[in-house]
Amino acid sequence: DADVTQTPRNRITKTGKRIMLECSQTKGHDRMYWYRQDPGLGLRLIYYSFDVKDINKGEISDGYSVSRQAQAKFSLSLESAIPNQTALYFCATSENRDTGELFFGEGSRLTVL
Amino acid sequence: EDQVTQSPEALRLQEGESSSLNCSYTVSGLRGLFWYRQDPGKGPEFLFTLYSAGEEKEKERLKATLTKKESFLHITAPKPEDSATYLCAVQKYGNKLVFGAGTILRVKS
């Protein structure tokens, strides 16, 4: 089983719908992240959390929200999806130190029509 | 503004044909530079961390080097299984990673 699991892996939805992407990890890491990947733009940070009580905005948080339900679970929500949120979304974890070594899930491909 | 630029965008090599990928950056106060490999349909996988100019790291056919303005990922005698997208990222002290757009490498047998 993967250490960082994302669900769903693929989702097609319509403009205005609420969508939630879920992430769970078995690595025991406190730090969790949500990234978005678009062709030609690289990975961009949406939100991150250093522990259950800590939530921080990344560089592109507008239109997104997150919930850290437990150390192992971090979900990303789009309250009202729009077409330019069509992208590949990745959850990642890291150890409890200022490291750039991240462990990524396999991604959730979201299409907003 | 912190920027990370990777070149070329795509690279096609014959098996055994060595080459290099480039990652140039403009970051004040660099804490570390990181290389990741990403296979199609998968999340990025960590390869190397470089902390200071002159540092080198090796893993199988890959060698990463760092100067004050750029990093190179040298691929020696590549094999088809080296085909992937290679991502570079930089980190400032106290800040999160800034990723480049990646280089898509295809190695043909």
Residues on chain A touching B42 (C-beta within 8 angstroms): 106-107
**Residue that the structure tokens 């921080």 belong to:** A56
Would you say residue A1 has pLDDT above 70? no
Residue contact B4–A101, C-beta within 8 A: no
B26 in helix, strand or coil? Answer: strand
pLDDT in tens, A68-88: 999 999 999 999 999 999 999
Min Cα distance B25 → chain A (Å) is 14
For A19-38, what is the mean pLDDT? 96
Residues on chain A touching B32 (C-beta within 8 angstroms): 100
B82 φ, ψ (degrees, to nearest 5): -80, -10
What separation, in Å, do the N-terminal and C-terminal C-alpha atoms of chain A show? 32
Cβ of A84 under 8 Å from any chain B Cβ? no
Model pLDDT, residue B48: 94
pLDDT in tens, B50-95: 999 999 999 999 999 999 899 999 999 999 999 999 999 999 877 7
- Across chain A, where does the E strand assignment appear? 4-7, 10-13, 19-25, 31-38, 42-51, 54-57, 65-70, 73-78, 87-94, 103-104, 108-112
Residue contact A92–B43, C-beta within 8 A: yes
Contact A10, A97 (CB under 8 A): no
Residues on chain A touching B9 (C-beta within 8 angstroms): 40
In whole angstroms, what is the distance from residue B11 CA to residue A13 CA? 35
